[in-house]
Structure 1
């Protein structure tokens, strides 16, 4: 088996796209004919001012196309924001949620195709066809299963869209729970289950385990496909030195009663041999002491530098994840 021939990556937005670029770079150097399929979180999706937004899909697309804004970490490079200013003048939309003009062009194209009857997977395919991104991006599902956060507001609880909680309040309101209404009845988007079944290796990106990876594996058919595939499933910890790389993930983990540690997230995902998701789990050098606890869960632990500071360190991390998967694949 060539561990890099057919690689499936489960990913959210910013962290997932950084890892995806590193994975693509590593495979370009070592196996230029490898196929990368990215199953993207669509729990962040939303309707706003009449258009459909897919933040994680677009972050992956823009990063792989090389047109993302690397300073802000989201959106398109060289953006203008005239349309958002005009929407604010009309009192439309969310004044705290700015859509760049180039980004809005993506949303308008997506919405137009959806209203013409195209499926979500087909729309994503058309968007990805604009640039040679070196990967296939698939939405996790074609159903609308937007993430709703129930927050504690004084003595009361109230629901809001994840984007409002994340962007407007910067996760400062205490979350009580996270829901994806309709996800229990959702199905994997076309191509997702087959990609996982045919994979040589499946990688869980170092994305937020609760609101990025969580919605993906909550789609019933995806969890089944992950358990049944012959490919090893290796995850990369989003925790470095006992802290989430993106701070608000700590709040998400606390809300569901999960420990914010490398071993805590491994326990949240669980061992595949015990009905969970993982065969192997890559932790940071700073968290090497957690390796025995991960092994005790029935998940093979590996240790590597996890900071993705540039393309080289991201490619090295991808190489380490694939090597960890390869080391254990012979026993399956």
Structure 2
């Protein structure tokens, strides 16, 4: 880095929690942000390819997100879904009319043979985003959830079943044969800082890291690697991460998440409520930083994002960039 050059931050992120962290970093001055988003939640509905986490990131940064529910478009209508229901289609996956427009565009481009990464980037540009939104792979990778009733797609578990079934096993279909995108590998190699968002580690972050080549690129990167805990005082703000961790034999605490990330992170940021885990996390070889990590307002998101840059040593507390 040179003095006053933008700080290159690469964020590894899932949906709602990832979008909060992305929003904080996006609104920091002098940050050149790249986001590697989760695509293992993707699935087809009504003949259209839907990419929930990528769309949540896009809608959030474009400031058109429905902030009350954390996903979808604000001021949305559901007339298309009403018609599909009247025609006898299964409509448990709630897709709004504006949302349908994006899915139609994405599906049309995919059928033309365009690369999914380029489609996602073109969508981001159309929404006037100034960051780089990147897919970890252009191949189809899908999370499957094993319950007592058998295997479910992630959206069946998450939306249709409302995360109620006990999770017995997770599988990321086709991940072994997936290929990392050059854009993702480049963003990791050139980053001044790599951040793991407070997303569900099992179904948002690991499906990115398990794409062959991604974790290796993270480890090889010279940038500091810092993660933010999605668990606060043994619980989550939104989603099933705490119950999933417990069901699959992990400790449902900030320490349990740190164990998953210990092989590649340098620092783990936890909430003040989790001070009791500092010694154990440090015992994993990670440094630990405490902060108020619950992000409700944009100001809180930006403040935490600025703190991450300071904790990592990329900038000093005044916001001045430190020379390499």
From 270, 282, 285, the equivalent of 1:298 is 285
- Take 2:137 and 2:248, find their aligned partners in 1: how far apart are those partners? 23
Shift of 1:327: 7.3
Q: Specify the alignment match of 1:43 in structure 2.
A: 40
Count the aligned residue pairs: 316
**Unaligned stretches of 5+ residues in structure 2:** 317-321
Give the TM-score taking structure 1 as reference length: 0.91
Shift of 1:151: 0.7
1:208-255: CA deviation from partner (whole Å, max 9, x where unpaired): 111001101111210110010001110000011121222411122123
- Take 1:306 and 1:103, find their aligned partners in 2: how far apart are those partners? 30
- Take 2:11 and 2:155, find their aligned partners in 1: how far apart are those partners? 23
- Conserved 8 A contact 1:121-1:190: no
From 308, 313, 322, the equivalent of 1:326 is 313
Give the TM-score taking structure 2 as reference length: 0.94
- Take 1:18 and 1:39, find their aligned partners in 2: how far apart are those partners? 14
**Unaligned stretches of 5+ residues in structure 1:** 271-275
Q: Secondary structure at the match of 1:183?
A: coil
- Take 1:62 and 1:305, find their aligned partners in 2: how far apart are those partners? 25
Whether 2:208 is the aligned partner of 1:211: answer: no
From 253, 266, 271, the equivalent of 1:261 is 253
- Take 1:111 and 1:229, find their aligned partners in 2: how far apart are those partners? 34
Q: Secondary structure at the match of 1:220?
A: coil
Q: Cα distance 1:301–1:6, how it changes in 2: closer, same or farther (>3 A)?
A: same
Q: Specify the alignment match of 1:177 in structure 2.
A: 169
- Conserved 8 A contact 1:148-1:159: yes
- Take 2:63 and 2:314, find their aligned partners in 1: how far apart are those partners? 32
- Take 2:120 and 2:23, find their aligned partners in 1: how far apart are those partners? 18
- Take 1:243 and 1:23, find their aligned partners in 2: how far apart are those partners? 24
Q: Specify the alignment match of 1:273 in structure 2.
A: none
Shift of 1:178: 1.0
Shift of 1:38: 0.1
1:149-170: CA deviation from partner (whole Å, max 9, x where unpaired): 11113xxxx1111001011111
1:85-144: CA deviation from partner (whole Å, max 9, x where unpaired): 11111122x322111000000000000000011011011011011122221111111111
Shift of 1:49: 1.1
Shift of 1:289: 2.1
Q: Specify the alignment match of 1:198 in structure 2.
A: 190
From 178, 181, 195, the equivalent of 1:186 is 178
- Conserved 8 A contact 2:15-2:199: yes
Shift of 1:278: 0.6
Whether 2:182 is the aligned partner of 1:160: answer: no
Larger mean CA deviation between 195-204 and 163-172 belongs to: 163-172
- Take 1:37 and 1:327, find their aligned partners in 2: how far apart are those partners? 16
- Conserved 8 A contact 2:136-2:181: yes
- Conserved 8 A contact 1:143-1:187: yes
- Conserved 8 A contact 1:232-1:328: no
What value does the CA root-mean-square deviation take over the aligned residues? 1.8
Q: Specify the alignment match of 2:128 in structure 1.
A: 132
From 238, 244, 252, the equivalent of 2:244 is 252
Shift of 1:328: 11
